[in-house]
Amino acid sequence: MENETKEPTTFATEKLVDIKKSENEVIRIAKSEYRGSRYIDIRIFFETKEGGEYRPTRKGIAIKEDIFGVFAEAVRSAELLLNQSV
């Protein structure tokens, strides 16, 4: 068996916006790239006890670029439903 060198896993992220969820949590929307695929990542981050730094939680979703338009349309439809008079 030949010596195989594994290509390092690359993960790049760019914060787009933080939306305050509570006193010590934000919903962070970020653009990310992982193994050559692009995503929009929507995740809850919490502020560390030391303060000033936010860390990600497992609560969130990474939406692949090719289906993001469908996701965005579904969110717009949900918003219309929420805004309808009951």
Residue with tokens 């995740």: 43
Strand-pairing partners, residue 39, are 32, 64
- Count of Cβ atoms closer than 10 Å to residue 7 Cβ: 7
Provide the pLDDT confidence category of residue 69 given band limits of 50, 70 and 90: very high
Inter-residue contact 67 to 38 (CB < 8 Å): no
Note the pLDDT tens digit of each residue in 5-53. 555 556 688 999 999 999 999 999 999 999 889 999 999 999 998 878 9
Is the predicted pLDDT of residue 61 greater than 90, yes or no? yes
CATH of domain 11-83: 2.30.31.10
pLDDT for the residue 49: 87
Instruction: Please state, in angstroms and rounded to a whole number, the distance separating the CA atoms of residues 69 and 51.
Output: 35
**Three-state DSSP class for 5?**
coil
**Structural domain boundaries of the chain?**
11-83
Instruction: Please state, in angstroms and rounded to a whole number, the distance separating the CA atoms of residues 24 and 48.
Output: 8
